[in-house]
Amino acid sequence: MKSYSKDLIAASTIPIVLSILQRGDNYGYRIIKEVQTISGGELNWKEGSLYPVLAKLEQNGLITSYKKKENGRTRKYYAIHQDGIKFLADVKNEWSSINQILAKLWNIQPNLTFS
């Protein structure tokens, strides 16, 4: 498993969470599991680090939450808000630009495209 700097993890957490929520409503534990799966196990977030991010996103009006009962258990689900979709589009453009700049500096061909 690779080790990533705390700064890089902090900078990427919000775009990752919003990208997952853009796929559909989700709850905390499942978001953590999706991050593990998508990253091939390289990112292993803890609940204690995810929930403050979700609270911040909700306070900023980028996501909303609601409770849903499943199999006798009530879970708090999160849904991306229209402002969150716009914010994510802006962040994708920023990350794409930075990726292209670094690729030029490091003489590598960027293979990331964002839609």
Domain ranges of the chain: 6-80
- Which band of pLDDT confidence, cut at 50, 70 and 90, is reported for residue 1? low
- Tell which CATH classification among 3.30.70.260, 2.60.120.380, 3.40.50.300, 1.10.10.10 matches the domain 6-80: 1.10.10.10
Closest by CA position to 80, among listed 27, 29, 24? 24
List pLDDT tens digits, range 52-61. 999 999 999 9
Reported pTM = 0.86
Q: Name the token pair of 14.
A: 């919000």
**Looking at the predicted structure, is the pLDDT value of residue 114 above 60?**
no
pLDDT category of residue 108 using cuts at 50, 70 and 90: confident
Residues 62-106: tens digit of each pLDDT: 999 999 998 899 999 999 999 999 999 999 999 999 988 988 898
Q: Which of 56, 64, 65, 62 is nearest to 87 (CA)?
A: 62
Q: How far apart are CA 90 and CA 79, in angstroms?
A: 18
101 to each of 32, 48, 73, how far by Cα in Å?
A: 30, 34, 47
Amino acid at 87: F
